[in-house]
Amino acid sequence: MTTSQRQNLIDVIIADHREVEQVFTELEDTTVDPRRRRELTDHVITELVRHSVAEEQYMYPAARKRLPNGDEVADHEIEEHSEAELLMKQLEDLEATDPKFDELLGKLMESIRHHVEDEENDLLPKLREACSEDELVELGEKIIDAKRTAPTRPHPQAPDKPPANRILAPGAGLIDRMRDKLSGRAT
């Protein structure tokens, strides 16, 4: 497969953002059956966790390495991930009929939408400028691979910087997938 046929980092990240936004749009319809809203919330949490873990393993280290203010940018993005992860953890065991569910879900969607806007308007254009197309393709492939083994549930206390996150995330991911299967949680 040639470089032009493979997805680069920017394409992968933006595609993830669009998929999450589609689920958010469906979740905003409060007439959807509560069981369906719970399933959609579990699904979006899974996708957000996988996405965040992959970004922390590969995209943010690339930003640190390639951008003049890379440490500042990466630290800001990781802080936003941490805030969202706490909201996801609070949402994880709530029934969709719980009064706090809609409040926390609204906060999560607001937080993620702000994060997406930051990345798409600032970080991704800077990375496109700073990295070669080959580097962007390699990073895109690493993101896709990392998402396959990433955790599916929020782990707010887990490390968010290499090398610890690259070592621990696959093990947490395996345990999460086992828990998902045993509980029947849709991922």
Binned at pLDDT 50, 70 and 90, residue 55 comes out as very high
Q: Which CATH number fits domain 3-183: 1.10.760, 1.10.3210, 1.20.120, 3.30.200?
A: 1.20.120
Q: Band of the pLDDT at 151, cuts 50, 70, 90? A: confident
Residue spans per domain, the chain: 3-183
pTM as predicted: 0.83
Give the integer Cα–Cα distance in Å for 77 and 129: 19
The number of helices, as runs of H, and strands, as runs of E, in the chain is 8, 0
Residue 150's pLDDT band, with cuts at 50, 70 and 90, is confident
Q: Does residue 38 contact residue 102 with C-beta atoms inside 8 Å?
A: no
C-alpha 14/C-alpha 33 separation (Å) is 29
Q: Specify whether the backbone of 39 is left (phi greater than 0), alpha (psi in -120 to 50) or beta.
A: alpha
Mean pLDDT of the chain, nearest integer: 85
Q: Residues with Cβ < 8 Å from 69, sequence gap 6 or more?
A: none
What pLDDT is stored for residue 152 in this prediction? 65
H-helix segments, 28-120: 34-54, 60-66, 70-91, 99-118
Coil, strand, or helix at residue 2?
A: coil
Average confidence (pLDDT) over 10-29: 96
Mean of the pLDDT values across residues 81-106? 93
**More confident call, 154 vs 141:** 141
The Cα 123–Cα 96 span in angstroms is 34
Taking alpha carbons only, the member of 131, 130, 80 closest to residue 108 is 80
pLDDT band at 168 (very low <50, low <70, confident <90, very high): very low
> Taking 50 as the threshold, does the pLDDT of residue 166 lie above it?
no
Terminal-residue alpha carbon distance, the chain: 29
